[in-house]
Structure 1
């Protein structure tokens, strides 16, 4: 059935430019596919290995562990290493090497402007249209794990802490250090693993700070500028906004502790209250101008959660009233939002695995298991109560059943590539989890049973208390759910605000193979959870134990279905007829560029996309109406034919 619909949609799509089919981005030569999939992974492993060598070397030559600090290196958190080191490298590297574009060091003038370079997009747009400048204040909400976390714990009674703690740590050595998102993080992971893990885990009962640890999201633009030196996150966008005239008076990074369940971010840090106050202040001090919110990945879920929180009544809610969003918010920008969830969150919470770990070579995998085995990884993730917010939502309606899924591949296209499916009798991604040792298959709904199997009660109870993954079946149910925070991370169970003047822009990458379903087996190993990904399935070093679909490398295409549903106009899901504009960005990475270059639409690297940056600058300067929609996949047609209850 899915294949017939797919063929029909192809005819409808003929007017679109550069149409993408499942046989376009996914089916490549084996060599090219392996290179594209593993290029970033090898780069990160190599970078990590280099840092480990540097850290270990520094540790050996240091006089004592207490003197083992990296004040100079830690200060490089906002440094783009290769660009900044080129003048220094010229003192001892051959000139020919520095001018070799393969290594990215060339300073020769190029015939074309490199749009991936800092400030270039902003300067080009400003030159083309000098009237462009700051109109709306901008708030940027980062995604999961990309916000740095700092330690603020100090003990007033070391003796009492020593009696109560089974793991002895020195809070002074961690004080105001970044235990996540820095070189210091790597040092702590290697030489102080137990204390590092203790600091990162939240309390099992309260979901807040555990005894003997207190981490907080780093403040300012540096909290999400770079993850570690040389690996930018929001830096490109910040630079281009700066060209237009934005500064700290009209631009803000709303960093948050992504480990916390969403309501606990408010309960502990008053995050949403401070966000509400900032927006109201800017509205007052910027000639009644509204605010634009840029969200990325999990940050998009935070933004939509905020829209419901701010208008709802209750002791921990915003109490802003039904017109607050329409009064204060001009636009929501959804950048690769995990709105309907990420499949990779499922194996992460079942067995501490995902495509990136499965495809490690044997030596790297052995090192990972020796340092942090599967059970330890699952335990850590279960102590981060924000992670379950990214589990798939909508069940078989969105993710398919055991017969078919909307984004199913064509089995006849390439028999060799589809070898793994033959063992299970079908080609459907709707078989979300397959067991190679029993030939049993399960849909996405059953995945929650595997996540909860053997999980402690505190994890299961807090997940049920904070999140919901189903589908509302009546408009009355949607209206009731608007009053309960448990439903605000699932757009299938809440309504957009009645804000007819507000706009939503959805930008996401396509054409990049993305994990979609998995092959598991039962495990009896003492260091393993009960179920683990079958690394040996189908050969190919485990690459065939994870099935890939179209997407951005992290989120499959189907998770963006809600943007298309909202775009249909006024409905029970969109009662205020909020206008939605969708642009699909084709992933076209540049060879020999570790971050993909100006045309990358990979999940994180899209933040450096020249096209995306151009759109963001237009929206911020009040010219969002100039953006033209572009839909180059079949998702728009799948959404129209889904059996929506409303």
Structure 2
């Protein structure tokens, strides 16, 4: 049956009537007959229009309100309206035992707009304000609907142009079991091709088969690769990182909106990887960088276009390493030549990147803790400790060389000394440079406060020797102060994950877009204590929860990654920067965290580390770059990071 269309009343409203305009959207049936999802503007007045039958229309004019009702009468009206509505709803739900929440989607409150203007004088101000807030929230929620951003930009003329390769962040990629032989400790066959990371199977295995799950997920501490008898591999395809578990999206919003401007699997690819591995082992075991190079070259050959790389979190570090690997000569390297990046990459869109590391990685590796675990109540802490203790969590994370790649880089120049940090605020009694603070001294373990580089060394003393060997074999956390040092580091793969020790490719045509959230409290420093019963907890030190002082000292960021981490984006813009020899243009867009109160993922204006991938504005920017409209994107600075970054002493250019 053809969709019913509302008959338009051509008669203009009289001057005495208020006018309300509301914008709706065509129905699904309407879309079948329309080439675009065109908004319909409907105008209603204080005249009520009633359809009798056919095209016959009767109009009933309402009398003008001349006098405001007394407050007592207004309250009585609101009371009776509320009571009546409550009775109707209670009867409906009681009479409909098979009521489905999905049916609420069919409710349309727009029709009440016809009566709203006339009722204004009868409703208290508080109710009117709430109604306005709800209306504003409804408009914001429209931006988070599936495909909404992409469809709007499609109407603005945006179309797929550059092929897109997405590189997820740490823990975002699902890991599935490829073990086929049972071991003495574990029945592996039951988990074949099931995700033991990033699915409900993971949660089930953790709760009901913890020992077997740990055997699968942990890497061999000596080799940093699969333990004997167990094999996990990164899931592949667009579904590898679209959802973490059912209902909890990660990249799905971006995939939807890219599809809305005509992208399909022939033009977009998720470069999923096993985030547990060191970067060199990603290539040696899985051929990851060789495959990524092949995909990008195939895009260039088949589509005659360069590729847009979109990274999130640790994915920015993976791409930076790839840039060095692909142009390096020798066995196990890309051998692409010094112009490969300039010839094949149109732009890098760095979303909430962790290029200079993140402070919370130190404490996670040191004592298996973070703010979320510290703030649990005593009963929850006890339960978590019995099920999955701090020492077990620390051991698990230490077995993942990939996690260690996120240790902070740049030393005291970036993260501060005991007396000064670039992001210290006025009237701050203790500098952020005191990264680990001990309020009570029991032994040499708690004798002094520690800076970030001190804390990394301290971590090495508290972890097994194999952990230190693995980190030093793969990574470096220093700062090259001269151009000669930068050039010498080009031949050292350990430096390739640190943008303060090696430079960007000499790629003048490369565009870099740094998009990150600001305005959400983020872990910056910690108060620690020495454990009294070290044998019981199997740790020497831990975060000092339960004391008078706040054990986790908060700074600026996106809730996960410190604001300071993004300093590199600002310093790449320096004139004659030794870290940007090709003068690649860098655009920075800071996004304030403005979450919706009733949206568990923050809504269209969130800037939280993961949820920002669903932010409407971020999706718009990603689509603009992919469609070749990146030149329309302008810098926006909300925080003080531009000033903070300028204080970093990077030596000579």
> How high is the TM-score relative to the length of structure 2?
0.78
**What's the counterpart of residue 460 of structure 1?**
468
Aligned partner of 1:217 in structure 2 is 234
Question: Aligned match of 1:325 in 341, 366, 377?
Answer: 341
Q: How does 1:420-499 map to 2 (within 5 A)?
A: 426-438=429-441, 440-499=448-507
Q: Is 1:297 matched with 2:313?
A: yes
Pair 486,293 (structure 1): closer, same or farther in 2 beyond 3 Å:
same
* Structural mapping, 1:77-116, within 5 Å: 91=99, 110=138, 114-116=142-144
2:290 corresponds to: 273
**Distance 1:230-1:108 versus aligned 2 partners, 3 A rule:** farther
Q: Distance in 2 between matches of 1:358 and 1:100?
A: 44
Question: CA 1:188–1:643 in structure 2 vs 1: closer, same or farther (change >3 Å)?
Answer: same
Question: Aligned partners of 2:203 and 2:542: how far apart in 1?
Answer: 27
Distance 1:94 1:169 in 2: 42
**1:251-310 Cα shifts (integer Å, max 9, x gaps):** 0000000000000000000000000001001100002x1000000000010011100000
Q: Partners in 1 of 2:438 and 2:481 — Cα distance?
A: 32
- Structure number with bigger Rg: 2
Paired residue for 1:228?
A: 245
Structure 2 CA distance for aligned equivalents of residues 140 and 483 of structure 1 = 27
Which of 209, 234, 239 matches 1:192?
209
Distance 1:212 1:107 in 2: 58
Task: Pick 1 or 2: higher relative contact order, CA cutoff 8 A, min separation 6.
Answer: 1
C-alpha spacing 1:595/1:406, structure 2 compared with 1 (3 Å): same
Q: Which residue of 1 aligns with 2:91?
A: none
SS in 1 for 2:142: coil
2 CA distance for matches of 1:89 and 1:630?
52
Q: What is the correspondence of 1:248-263 to structure 2 with a 5 Å cutoff?
A: 248-263=265-280
* 403-412 vs 348-357, which moves further: 403-412
Q: 1:227, CA displacement in angstroms?
A: 0.4
Q: Secondary structure at the match of 2:583?
A: coil
CA distance in 1 between counterparts of 2:490 and 2:401 reads: 22
Within 2, Cα distance between the matches of 1:520 and 1:109? 42
Counterpart position of 1:343:
359
Shift of 1:99: 6.7
Shift of the alpha carbon at 1:364? 1.9
Does the 8 A contact of 1:99 with 1:107 survive in 2?
no
8 Å contact 2:174–2:240 — kept in the other structure?
yes
Q: Distance in 2 between matches of 1:189 and 1:118?
A: 32
Partner of 1:34: none
Instruction: Tell me which of 596, 599, 608 is aligned to 1:593.
Output: 599
8 Å contact from structure 1 (residues 411, 427) kept in 2: no
Q: Partner of 1:143 in structure 2?
A: 169
CA contact (8 A) 1:351 1:528 kept: no
CA shift for structure 1 position 207? 1.1
Deviation at 1:569, TM superposition (A): 3.9
**How far does residue 107 in structure 1 lie from its aligned partner after superposition?**
13
CA pair 90-435 structure 1, distance change in 2 beyond 3 A: farther
Unaligned runs of 5+ in 2: 1-95, 110-129, 442-446
Q: CA deviation at 1:362?
A: 1.8
Whole-Å separation in 2 of the counterparts to 1:597 and 1:521: 38
Q: Deviations over 1:70-98 (max 9, x none)?
A: xxxxxxxxxxxxxxxxxx99725697899
| Aligned counterparts of 1:255 and 1:365: Cα–Cα separation in 2 | 34
Deviation at 1:108, TM superposition (A): 13
Provide structure 1 residue ranges, at least 5 long, that are not aligned to the other structure.
1-87, 163-167, 413-425
1:502 paired to 2:530: no
Aligned-pair distance for 1:617? 0.3
Quickly say closer, same or farther: Cα 1:112–1:180, change in 2 above 3 A: closer
Matching of residue 518 in structure 1 with residue 526 in structure 2: yes
On the 8 A contact 1:373/1:528 being kept in 2, the answer is no
Deviations along 1:583-623, one digit per CA (max 9) or x if unpaired, are 00000001011000000000001000111000000000000
Alignment of 1:294-443 (within 5 A): 294-411=310-427, 426-438=429-441, 440-443=448-451
In angstroms, what is the RMSD of aligned CA positions? 2.3
3-state SS of 1:551 partner:
coil
Matches of 1:515 and 1:126 in 2, distance apart? 39
Number of equivalent positions: 527
Q: Is the 8 A contact 1:521 1:534 kept in 2?
A: yes
Match of 2:219 among 184, 189, 202: 202
Deviations 1:214-237 (A, max 9, x none): 000001111111101111100100
